[in-house]
Structure formats: C-alpha cells, structure tokens
Amino acid sequence: RGGGHRVAPHEMTPDDALARLEAGGYYYVHDFPARGTFGIDTVDCRAESAAFRGVKCVPRGVHFISTNAAGSREGAIGEFVCVEKGGDVIVRAWDAALETLAPGRGMAEEDAERLAVATRDGREFDGVMAPYSIDIERAWTVLSTFVTTDVLDRCGVGIGTRVVAGDPDAEARSRDGASAREVTPYFDHVPRAPVFTDRATSRNPHGMPASDVTVMNTYPELRLKHAIGCFGADGWRGMLGELQLSFILLSALSSLAALEQWKRLVHVICSCAEVAVFDYPELYSAFIDVIRPQLERAGGDFFDFDDYTKENFLRPCLIDLARINIDASPDHNDGDEFAIDIDDETKLAEVAQKLQRLVRFVRESLHVNLLDEIHQAKADEARAHDAGEDAPVVVELSEGTYMHMDATDGIDVDIEHVPSTIEIDRAAAERMSWMSPSPSIENP
C-alpha cells in the first residue's frame, strides 16, 4: 500500500513555512479517531490522538484523501478534492457509527462555515494539523500530471465523490457486455468504485464489427489508435490521465480493478512502441515521464514473477518500450528522405534520451537489465523464424482437385483437375513418397 511509502523531510525556514501556509489550503476533519489512518496524495500518516484535525499548507490543485479507522476490517475510503486558491478550507467530519467520513460535510452548513473561519482566519487548529511538505508536493506532482477533473468525471470519481477500491458487480456486468456507466445509478453520498474506460483496452470492444476486431488485434498500433480515440477530445492525454489515476487508486486504496486497468494501458502503449513512436512521439515522451516515478514508487515488486503463471507482465512491456530506435523510421527504411517534421524530430530525440535514462534506472535501481533481455528476445525470435521456415506447410486443395498417396508411386495428382493457378512440383512430390506407407486411397 501507499502507506508504506515514506518521504524524506525538506528543510524550510520560518518565512518559507509562513508563505506556504498563506498560499495553501486546508483539509479539516472533525472528530477523527485516534490511531486512525489518514492519507493525502498516497502518503499515509497515523493520528496519534483524537486531537488530530487534518492537513494544512495544501497546494492548489487536485488532491486525493483516504481514511481508515484503526483496526477496521473494511478497506480505506477516499475522495478527490480541489484547492482552488490560498485559504480554501475543505471541512469534513468523522462518523463513528459508520467508521468513515460522514456524508457531505458531515455537519450543518453554518457549523462547517464557522470551523472554516476558525481554521483559516483564527488559525485555531494549526497546532493539531499536519503540514503538507514540499517533498510530498514534488512526489504528487509527477504522479498526477495528467489527472484533471475531466479524467475524474469520466471515471465516475469526480471532486467530492467518496471512492472505494472496487465494485463486486463490475465483472458480471463486463461479462454481459454492458458498460458500468450505463447501468450504475448515482446516489449522492454513496461511495463509488471507479469506472475505467474498458473499451480502450478491450480486445473485443462491444459493438465493434468482427473484421475490425481482427485487424485491431493483428496490428498493435491500430489498437493504440483505437484506445486513444476512446478518450475523445482529451486524446492520449486523457489516456495517460487514466493511467495515473489507476496507479493512484492502486497505491492509496489497494484497488485490484485499478491495477488491472494500469496493466492493460501499459500493455497497449508499450506493445507497439517500436512502430507507433513515429506517429505519437509526444505521447511516448510523456509516457516515460509518467511511468518512471511509478516504477520508483512501486519498486522491484512489479518485476516479481506471478506465483501461478511464473510470468511477469511488466518485463515484456518495458522490453517492447526499450526497443524503440528513432533511427529506424519507416520512411528512412524505405530509402526515402526522412519525412518527419522538425518538432517531431526534436521530440523523438527527447524520447531517446529519456528512454536511455529509464533503462539505466531500471538496471541500477530495480536490477533488471532490459538491454540483455532485448538481445535474448531477438535471439529467440530469430530461432523461431528459422524454425518456421523449415516447418511443414499445410495446403488446402481446391474442390475438384483429386489426389492420392501410394506407398511405391509417391503422390499421384490428376492434372486434369488442377486449377491453372497451382504449379505442380514433381520433384517435391517424389520426395514426399515416404509419407505414405499405407495402401492407396482411390478416388471416389
């Protein structure tokens, strides 16, 4: 869980601290239980006493709050909030009976406003509110670059919506081919599971013609194009926003659904990287910026092999990503003049530099040598290709073509019935006589 992540403290002068306090907002929580877990932006802390009142100095922008009662068997519940300007106070109250945050602000509006004024103007609770540190801000910024209110709304977890890890009925709906957005009613103050853009990662999108499904699954770059199209006007930025949202909910709520969506999006982006980078250089430059801090946060666990399949989903994805070669442009390989505009050429060079640093980081910090694994993968592909050239080929004969195999005469073909498009190799027929030691099969 994200709670295991620790951020090193950053030294700050009193003037700096005062400036951050005045520029930031507050998340005030009333009656939070002692020993309860309070998380902000995937970093957890434990309330040492019932005097705890939340977090101050929260920077402007979108943030994720998670809470869990001490010893609770239920999972944490979270919500996205937005600090729009310095001095904003978000007021919540704990419901001891429900062992979670009370619906809405949890109290009468006049009481909430009174607490907001006391927090902001009177600073009555400064001593019992934890400061939001610069280090947390830096870590959160790179984890949430593309997480906008549009991304949150698309996934049904808009600002102020209480969020839980998963929906037990989601799998059943998926088997029925229905979208969770189409069948899940909305009730105020009821915790909701995220509804990811499953169509973007599905190998058989509901309603897509079978011929289009076949083509899409044959060419991974077309699958990426389809995925980007599923995010409408947001395009690939919306896709990366959902990738980051998935990782945030995985870290903060241990959401299995979020993990699965994260894996699927990573696969869609990486599986065609060697080819698609020339069409989407800006996407791949941003993707490397997105996945690097996620790998730093997750550590080597993401490279462990599954106990049941003995495989790892991330290794082949990063191998595919690391195979990007900006000198292997399709235009360049065709012998034509390099037909990439100057902006894309600059972005491709940026991709190469970032990828080099990513490969080095994975080798030095996570102890996985992607270059060695690429060489091994290429050797395996070469062996498979060579084996394929010597493999037997099954040919389905056209109707009206008759043939029988004889133990002594080899293969006899009735030339009169062979279509003109088929060329008979008599030498090959003679060589294959060993295949037919059985009695002749006469034509009907």
pLDDT tens by residue, 123-151: 899 999 999 999 999 999 999 999 999 99
Q: Which residues of 240-256 are buried (b: 16+ CB within 10 A; e: fewer)?
A: bbbbbbbbbbbbbbbbe
H or E stretch including 39? strand 37-40
**How many CB atoms sit inside 10 A of residue 364's CB?**
10
pLDDT of residue 83: 97
pLDDT of residue 147: 98
How many residues are given for the chain? 444
In angstroms, the Cα distances linking 135 to 2, 23, 131, 132, 179 are 15, 16, 11, 9, 39
pLDDT of residue 437: 44
pLDDT of residue 354: 97
pLDDT of residue 78: 95
pTM of the full structure: 0.79
Write out residues in the chain with pLDDT < 50, as ranges.
1-8, 172-183, 185, 308-310, 399-444
Q: Where does residue 334 fall: left (phi above 0), alpha (psi -120 to 50 degrees), or beta otherwise?
A: alpha
pLDDT of residue 412: 47
| Rg, C-alpha atoms of the chain | 30
In angstroms, the Cα distances linking 92 to 104, 116, 189, 283 are 7, 10, 13, 38
Cβ–Cβ < 8 Å for 254, 75: yes
Both tokens of 343, joined, read 């902006």
Both tokens of 156, joined, read 């049904």
